[in-house]
Amino acid sequence: MIVSQGSSPDLSAKVVCVSHLKDVDGCICAALVRCATKSNFLLTDYGHINECLRNIQKNYDLVYICDLGINEILLEEFVRIKQFAKLTYIDHHHLDGYLSERLEEMGVEVVHDLRECASVLTFNFLNKFLPRESGLLASFAAFSDRMENGPIAKRLIERYDRDFILFETMLLSYALERADVGLKRRVVHHLSELEYPHQIEGVTELALEQANRIIILRRELPNNATKLDNVAYVETREDSPGTIANLLLDVCEANIGIGYHTNQQKQTSDLSIRGRSNLTINLGRVTSQLAEKLGGFGGGHPRASGARIPTSALKKFIQALVHQTK
Ligand SMILES: [Mn+2]
């Protein structure tokens, strides 16, 4: 665990933040960095992160990378960026010991803690340069990432009215499920100006749409999903695999839920895996091991993970996971 307090952001520097596009945590990291440093921001996912980092050129001299787990391949881009810019990496995904050593050798400022969401780490790191109200943003991310019990998150959340946090968190979370990249960028922009989710045009409408979609899914999933022992899984096209995986725990009374999306051309499947709190295995670790064994890659947290594997290996992956939980 490395947690430190941010050094003063140089306001004359050209700053960019690269953050995870997918969820509340990633979007709020970008909003917080922008709020503190007036940075530009780029939102990306694991499928496009390489390309996204490659686009960072010498016009930036301070780069933040948030809520994105890294591997050896990405490290090469870090090395390139480090030649012309100061680099700060803020994350809470599993980080291999040797990668963390390499980052340190390179002089990358690393803020890493598995117990907190990336937004709480970002808030804590840039605290001195952020207004009190921006702590609410970090609180939304903590609840949304189910990391509200982290030591920093707990203290932070206590400062604010819990009902208001929960209300705004769920509006934002449901709306982002249905938002395209353009809208996500607009939402991040407004959040960085400390507007509340319900005030941002389109957010409430999209959140209600998503709530209605959830009702349909609750009805349909028990019929469409397959259950193998305590693992329920189903293919999804329009819904986010993560949402589906969470719902499977509920409506199929499974211990592990898997939502997956298959890319027919590339013949790969993207899986989101969620587990109940009583799970005895670490999903992040098991997912990473199984995916690599089957020619893919993956990782994540103890009760929430993701992987990309060849579609031909999907059955094997699920069977192996079932076996591990016995
Ligand atoms: Mn996160």
Q: What secondary structure does DSSP assign to 12-26, as a single string?
A: TS-EEEEEESSSHHH
Separation of CA 51 from chain center: 18
Residue 7 inside a domain? The answer is no
Residue 89 inside a domain? The answer is yes
223 Cα: distance to centroid of ligand 1 (angstroms): 31
Q: CA 262, CA 237: separation in Å to the nearest integer?
A: 8
Of 145, 177, 205, the position where a domain reaches its end is 205
Q: Does residue 5 carry a pLDDT above 80?
A: no
220 Cα: distance to centroid of ligand 1 (angstroms): 29
285 Cα: distance to centroid of ligand 1 (angstroms): 16
pTM as predicted:
0.90
Same domain, 237 and 197: no
Residue 217 inside a domain? The answer is no
Residue 5 inside a domain? The answer is no
Specify the pLDDT at position 9.
52
Residue 284 inside a domain? The answer is yes
Same domain, 199 and 66: yes
84 Cα: distance to centroid of ligand 1 (angstroms): 27
118 Cα: distance to centroid of ligand 1 (angstroms): 5
Query: Is the CB of residue 289 less than 8 Å from the CB of residue 279?
Result: no
What pLDDT digit, counting tens, does each position of 106-123 carry?
999 999 999 999 999 999
Of 172, 205, 238, the position where a domain reaches its end is 205
What pLDDT digit, counting tens, does each position of 30-41 carry?
999 999 999 999
Query: Can you read off the two tokens belonging to residue 70?
Result: 């890294």
Supply the CATH number for residue 252's domain.
3.10.310.40
Query: Can you read off the two tokens belonging to residue 105?
Result: 């050798």
Find the domain containing 304 and state its range: 225-324
Specify the pLDDT at position 204.
98
300 Cα: distance to centroid of ligand 1 (angstroms): 9
Supply the CATH number for residue 71's domain.
3.90.1640
20 Cα: distance to centroid of ligand 1 (angstroms): 8
Which residue's entry shows tokens 């391949």? Answer: 73
25 Cα: distance to centroid of ligand 1 (angstroms): 5
User: Residue 67 — left, alpha, or beta (φ > 0 → left; ψ -120 to 50 → alpha)?
Assistant: left
294 Cα: distance to centroid of ligand 1 (angstroms): 26
What pLDDT digit, counting tens, does each position of 13-35 carry?
799 999 999 899 999 999 999 99
Of 173, 205, 237, the position where a domain reaches its end is 205
Burial, 201: exposed, middle or buried (Cβ in 10 Å; 0-12, 13-18, 19+)? exposed
26 Cα: distance to centroid of ligand 1 (angstroms): 6
Nearest to 123 by CA among 290, 5, 11: 5
